[in-house]
Amino acid sequence: MPKTTNPRKTDLALYRLEPLQSMLGREEWAASTIKETCWVQATSEQEARAIVEVETRPPQSHAPVTLPFFSPWSSSSFTSCTRESDGVESPYPAGAVYTRDGLVTEATGSRANEHSKGRNDAHP
């Protein structure tokens, strides 16, 4: 997990990042292990985008393109980033990226089958 988020800060907000449907066919998505809506607690939109970029980057040995490459999560041309709420309770720590299916683990982009019971339909 990137070390940019201080989990003790009280000004965290929940951000929802979503791929733009018109951009999903672009080759830049090879720079991400996921192409679906995800959520992260962060202090700003820039931090939310940076965290998702790092957490969904494929390992260099598995990347279909060589580094450096452009992550679509860092650009508003490829993804939307919406502040959903302030100080929301989350089953995951600040800076963790998760989808409806669970936590996304760094470097592999795999999901760690951690589901929260009774979660809100608006987000995992």
**Mean pLDDT per 10-residue interval, the chain, length 124 residues:** 52 94 93 94 95 89 63 96 82 87 68 41 54
Q: Are 48 and 40 in contact (CB under 8 A)?
A: yes
* Domain residue ranges of the chain, discontinuous segments joined by +: 13-104
Strands of the chain, DSSP E: 13-19, 38-42, 79-86, 97-99, 102-104
**How high is the pLDDT of residue 58?**
84
Q: Are 15 and 40 in contact (CB under 8 A)?
A: yes
**How high is the pLDDT of residue 8?**
55
